[in-house]
Amino acid sequence: MATAPSVELASKSAMATDAPKVEGTVKAAKAAYAAEDPELSRAVHDAKAGTVADEKHGGAGSDYIKSIVFGGLDGIITTFAIVAAVAGASLPLEVVLLMGFANLIADAISMGLGDYLSTAAEIDSIMQERKREAWELEQYPEGERQEMIDEYVNNGFEKEDATTIIDTFLKTNPTESSSTSSSSLTT
């Protein structure tokens, strides 16, 4: 795929002269991707090799995209339905607009509150599961270890690899291992 000259030029110059300024940044990684420039991508990743990863994936608003799209579509459809119904009843334009705006505001509040409550319930459920898994790990470590290994094997890992992963988890942070390994594979 051909890239825009400005993007290509920007990526080449970033690699050649500005690499120290942009190394390890999401901006540089995105520029490399946009320019389809594997050399710049390698330079960005190689420059941060051996350092603690501080790259934040996603960017501003990425956590809210699903809610925005879902809420926007719902708002458009329901507002259109209300306006069409009220207009079809041959009511005055002021009433049609009033009903449309009232529906828009009510829908926004409803969608926002619904999203908040469902997210809070999901987080609560995850935290309860983590507490249960941590308790199980304290009560019967070998059984929980085997359960986690089996979970990884069921998700396509070789038994040796799954064992290495779980043993590493258990060695570095045993209280987090059980709850993050099992549930992260299924969510």
Could you tell me if 151 and 102 are in contact, meaning their C-beta atoms sit under 8 angstroms apart?
no
pTM > 0.85: no
CA gap 99, 78 in Å, rounded: 11
Q: Which own/partner contact pairs does 128-136 have at CB distance under 8 Å and 24+ positions apart? A: 129/179, 129/183, 130/179, 130/180, 130/183, 131/179, 133/178, 133/179, 133/182, 133/183, 134/175, 134/178, 134/179, 136/178
Chain mean position to CA 43: 26
Q: Where are the domains of the chain?
A: 5-47, 140-187
Tell me the percentage of the chain whose pLDDT exceeds 90. 40
Helix, strand or coil, per DSSP, at residue 92 = coil
Give me the mean pLDDT over the 34-60 stretch. Answer: 72
Residue 54 in this model has a pLDDT that exceeds 60:
no
pLDDT, residue 10, reads: 43
Residue 120 in this model has a pLDDT that exceeds 90:
yes
